[in-house]
Amino acid sequence: MITPMRVFVLIFNANTENEGIHTIRVGDRNKILMFESEDDALRFALLLEAQDFPVPTVDALDAEEIKEFCESAGYEWEIIPENSDLIIPPEINLEETDWQADDQKEDIDDSFRFNQVPPAEEPELSDSELDKIRRQLEGLL
């Protein structure tokens, strides 16, 4: 029997009717990040919180279930290996989330989707800037 691979994903509004999984926007596609390490997922969640995102819940799920969901929803997925380089959320996040209640969406332009980053807007950080951010984050732990 093959043991399912457990990964960690970020869930907003966990266990509610408006539950939603965190995605990033790559081009015109959504991508779900699947973290091998719970600690890495928690660090990413803290970075989102620092960007004034709602606080996500880190949830352990079967990687195959996430992949099947991605195929059915037209999403992409990426496994983030344990102890890989620090993943930093995009600086530009969209106002609308797929998990917001419909009445909250009325005032938001439909052209936006959750956590979309236009490719031309991605910031390029130097190695020294990345090292500084890593040291600051490590100091939080």
Q: What is the rounded CA–CA span in Å between residue 134 and residue 105? A: 35
Q: Which residues pair with 29 in a beta bridge?
A: 26
Q: Please check whether residue 30 lies inside any domain of the structure.
A: yes
Q: Please check whether residue 1 lies inside any domain of the structure.
A: no
Q: Please check whether residue 132 lies inside any domain of the structure.
A: yes
Q: What is the pLDDT of residue 65?
A: 94
Q: Please check whether residue 124 lies inside any domain of the structure.
A: yes
Q: Please check whether residue 84 lies inside any domain of the structure.
A: yes
CB 22 within 8 A of CB 10: yes
Domain that holds residue 101: 6-140
| Whole-number average pLDDT of the chain | 76
> How do residues 87-137 score in pLDDT, each as one tens digit?
777 765 554 455 444 444 444 343 334 444 444 444 455 677 767 766 766
Would you say the pTM of this structure is higher than 0.85? no
Taking Cα atoms as reference points, which of 28, 5, 18, 6 lies closest to residue 76? Answer: 28
Provide the number of structural domains found in the chain. Answer: 1
Q: What is the pLDDT of residue 33?
A: 94
Q: Model confidence at 79, in pLDDT bands (50, 70, 90)? A: very high
Q: Please check whether residue 49 lies inside any domain of the structure.
A: yes
Q: Please check whether residue 134 lies inside any domain of the structure.
A: yes
Q: Please check whether residue 33 lies inside any domain of the structure.
A: yes
H-assigned helices in 5-114: 38-50, 63-73, 102-105
> How do residues 28-46 score in pLDDT, each as one tens digit?
889 999 999 999 999 999 9
